[in-house]
Structure 1
Amino acid sequence: MLWIPFTLFAAFMQAWRNALQKQLSQHLGATSVTLARFILAGPLAGGYLWLLYRWQPDQPLPHFSVLFAAYIVGAAVCQIVATALMVRLFQLRNYAVGVGLAKSEAIWAAILGVGFFGSLLSPLGWLGVAIGGVAIGLLSGLRRLSGGISPTTLLLGVGSGLSFALTSLWVREASLLLELTFPFSAAWVLLLVISLQTLLLVGWLAWRDRSSLSGLVKHPTLTAAVSITSCLGSIGWFSAMSLESVALVKTLGQIEVLFTLLISAYYFKVKLTRQDHWGLALIVIAAICVMWA
């Protein structure tokens, strides 16, 4: 049951990372804000792996395969795409709507996991996923805005959720391939994915938009905060997904929207509505379903 506290920790960190990314997106473009997520996370992930081997020095080093490398590349690229799309959502709609559209990830993870990755979900697990999807719709205000959501906004949200789901599924497959004890497999995957993402984004911006790199230097505190909360959240997500199916982890992880609403209320001064309270109740029911499943 260790996947449960890891998931809750990850959701809490991700809610803060999203809030900080929203602030940074007011000053920088989507690619720069995406890079801020990874730029300091690599050294932190490396330090985390080093501490694990100091804790258990008898643990073996992993053996990498071509299939493992393919999963790492796929996960790294999909997470970059997903983050860039979500940052673009922040710039088009309000904070909660952007997060809500991107959280279609849990539904995509369930469908793709069962259809293509050999995952198994009990009826109770499917019920939790379905209830969680309804809850996200209520909490993000999608029902209120259904008549005013543009096709562009909808496509960005679905694309972000699908990309996040593929990232999570490939991260789990990569962790299982290493056949290391917990949490070493998750830590290796985390380090490799984040390092590749940093190299890809820095190379892209150095080639196409060097001014974006200097923009991050102008906001060092906010950039560092985004990167640190992102790395801590990723440690939680990667660890949880190495222990349990992605659909269940991501459904429980929708508790992030509770944290998001609290941040919106107390940090961005957004008032909570009756619909928000119904959505929170459904999130709790969904969480109970997936934990029992």
Structure 2
Amino acid sequence: MGLWIPFTILAAFMQAWRNAFQNRLSKDVSTAGVTLARFIWASPLAGFYLWLLYRWETAPMPAFTGSFILLIVLASIAQIIATALMVVLFRKRNYAIGVGLAKSEAVIAAVLGALFFAAPLSPLAWAGVLIGALAFWLMTNPGALREVSFGTLLTGLGSGLAFALTTLWVREASLLLGLPFLYSAAWVLLCVIATQTLMLLAWLLLREPHTLIALWQRPKLVFAISLFSCIGSLGWFTAMSLETVALVKTLGQIEVLFTLMISARWFREKLNGRDLAGLGLIVVGALCVMLA
């Protein structure tokens, strides 16, 4: 079994719980505030993890080139946009479907990877992409086929595209460092999270200072979001330093299964047959790409 597989499963599990906590926080805090909660405590956690790595075994220090810095900035902005759009999805439909819509990321990452990042797909892998697209259609369109919610569709596609670009740029940044995979993933994680935290703090200080107060009043929930986000991102970044984004993200769609369990047991939400069919097809699509 490739080492990237357990890291991906860990990331999917942690991300499912992070999304659940973000969904709860979104009831009381603005979209920008919920997005910041993902990063605000993650920077010191990522820094502590990196310190532990160097205490465990010595490794070279990285050289931060202009190309690396550009990729970090692009990935940071893209992930902020993706997270904000996913929070908007939480408010458009229920929790499980909001996450399911954002999972168009896997389909988009596969297409972009094949077209622009030298990661061509086999026929079976393309079948998985098409099945994922069908699942996305089913979950976006809750009624008859002609009754498409274009607002939800565009928001979901936007979130998926931004997440896909984030992962592709993160992998490129990790490869540029040329360090052992644990160290390159940890450095990219710290740089991305620190950049995102500074961007969002500056925005909220200027535009929504009351949101910072709201986050301060919910310390346990904010810390839980940051903790699960940090561990989840660590899993994603490490897996993507070992394997292509398309494979990592298609296997990562098992997050949908974790999401279903959380949705049913914690939020007491019920899914109709169409929703379940779409979520099931996401899993089938992921398996097709993995078997390819």
State the AA in 2 paired with 1:51.
L
Counterpart position of 2:203 = 204
Matches within 5 A, 1:1-293: 1-57=2-58, 59-138=59-138, 140=139, 142-144=141-143, 148-275=147-274, 278-279=277-278, 281-293=280-292
Structure 2 distance, partners of 1:43, 1:271, is 38
C-alpha change, 1:23 and 1:168, in structure 2 (3 Å) is same
Per-residue deviation, 1:101: 1.6
Per-residue deviation, 1:125: 2.3
Secondary structure (helix, strand or coil) at the match of 2:227 reads helix
Secondary structure (helix, strand or coil) at the match of 1:250 reads helix
- Give % identity: 61
C-alpha change, 1:75 and 1:38, in structure 2 (3 Å) is same
State the AA in 1 paired with 2:7.
F
Of 273-282 and 17-26, more deviation after overlay is shown by: 273-282
Secondary structure (helix, strand or coil) at the match of 1:12 reads helix
Conserved 8 A contact 1:100-1:137: no
Conserved 8 A contact 2:75-2:192: yes
Q: What 5-or-longer segments of structure 2 have no aligned partner?
A: none
Q: What 5-or-longer segments of structure 1 have no aligned partner?
A: none
State the AA in 2 paired with 1:5.
P
Structure 1 distance, partners of 2:70, 2:11, is 25
Conserved 8 A contact 2:4-2:239: yes
Report the count of equivalent residues: 291
Structure 1 distance, partners of 2:183, 2:249, is 21
CA shift digits 1:113-167 (9 cap, x unpaired): 11112222222322233333334555x4645475555322221111111101100
CA shift digits 1:256-291 (9 cap, x unpaired): 111111111111112355555545554443343333
State the AA in 2 paired with 1:285.
V
> What is the alpha-carbon root mean square deviation over aligned residues?
1.8
Secondary structure (helix, strand or coil) at the match of 2:133 reads helix
TM-score normalised over the length of structure 1: 0.93
Structure 2 distance, partners of 1:25, 1:264, is 15
TM-score normalised over the length of structure 2: 0.93
Conserved 8 A contact 2:8-2:252: yes
Structure 1 distance, partners of 2:143, 2:180, is 46
